[in-house]
Structure 1
């Protein structure tokens, strides 16, 4: 005889699902707050930091789903994700100070390069790791079969296209990439919002 018990993750999974959706929505919204120069400012920087908090929380849940089949892979990607999100948040905070002190993009870059090692550790090394982690999570989802293949491939495509929208700050490209991220995250988040139950022997 079996008995249906509530999923012990009944609160965690929905929170992570909601975080995926909210984080991707905030991330997409942040692009609309870019300064006319195409750089982050106080508003866009703040929104991007909040977005990365929610996105990271949700993405860690996706990594946990694939841990049983890909234990080493998911553990490494989790570390890469956290460092990459930290780097993205650092760029957001930098945007606040750039607007506060009226720095152009060139002046901001020159200022942080006064401390080259610190700039590398805070900005330039972790910066590429967030889109790389999106690609890696997409690959992991496909390999572990913990999500539909189309959602995994869409996440991979967003990770590959991400640098082409943020590095040159091309607005329309950024919106397209944001839409791809939002679509993938919305679907993956919706799946985590669905209740799950497990069967145990009575």
Structure 2
């Protein structure tokens, strides 16, 4: 994968995700925040797939499962960003939106409720996989796992301060991951004979 694009993706995705939370309208994503969140998911996935590819070089089945879990998580992120977008443009409250989704339980499960938890699970899985393959230091793996645990708490409770804390934790983890990724991707110097 293109190293520069993957690096930009690992930084831009979580940065846009954190920015989207600052644009919440009350305790919900409105039109603007949802648009920024949707751009975040598109920007982020390329870099994550590059990291899972690196993990797959050491543990192929783990890299493949992690990539699928990440794609499912970003499908959930895309679905929730579109939900917020359409709530905003049609002036539908969160309660009305959830009531409408309840009228279509199977479709809602496939579109929202199953892929939704995949994003924080993917963060936790990434932290664990990096630890297992020893591609990252212990503190970075634990930081990713902690950010994955805090994310759903912040979104379910709709607590703005928790949401900002989760976003900043995720952003810090991905800045560190990007620096680690760049270090691992640096070519090994070839010794010259004298």
Both proteins in one fold, TM over 0.5: yes
What are the within-5 Å matches in structure 2 for residues 43-82 of structure 1?
43-82=32-71
Partner Cα separation in structure 2 for residue 135 and residue 192 of structure 1: 18
Partner Cα separation in structure 2 for residue 146 and residue 54 of structure 1: 23
Shift in Å, 1:170? 0.6
Task: State whether structure 2 residue 108 is matched by structure 1 residue 119.
Answer: yes
Task: State whether structure 2 residue 129 is matched by structure 1 residue 140.
Answer: yes
Q: Which of the pair is proportionally richer in helix? A: 2
Partner-residue secondary structure (3-state), 2:157: coil
Task: State whether structure 2 residue 178 is matched by structure 1 residue 178.
Answer: no
Partner Cα separation in structure 2 for residue 72 and residue 108 of structure 1: 38
- Deviation digits for residues 27-70 of structure 1 (CA, Å, limit 9, x no counterpart): 1111011111x111111111111111122211111111111222
Query: Counterpart in 1 of 2:146?
Result: 157
Is the 8 Å Cα contact of residues 56 and 85 (structure 1) preserved in structure 2? yes
Partner Cα separation in structure 1 for residue 125 and residue 172 of structure 2: 18
Partner Cα separation in structure 2 for residue 186 and residue 136 of structure 1: 18
Shift in Å, 1:25? 0.6
Partner Cα separation in structure 1 for residue 171 and residue 73 of structure 2: 19
Shift in Å, 1:148? 1.7
Q: Which of the pair is proportionally richer in strand? A: 1
Structure 2 residue runs of 5 or longer lacking an equivalent are: none
Is the 8 Å Cα contact of residues 17 and 191 (structure 1) preserved in structure 2? no
Partner-residue secondary structure (3-state), 2:57: coil
Is the 8 Å Cα contact of residues 136 and 180 (structure 2) preserved in structure 1? no
Of 19, 22, 34, which residue of structure 2 is paired with 1:29? 19
Partner Cα separation in structure 2 for residue 119 and residue 155 of structure 1: 28
Aligned-pair RMSD on alpha carbons? 1.9
Does the C-alpha gap of structure 1 residues 31 and 154 become closer, same or farther in structure 2, counting only changes over 3 Å?
same
Q: Which has the higher contact order (CA 8 A, sep 6+)?
A: 1
Partner-residue secondary structure (3-state), 2:28: coil
Q: Please report the TM-score for the alignment, with normalisation by the length of structure 2.
A: 0.92
Partner Cα separation in structure 1 for residue 112 and residue 139 of structure 2: 32
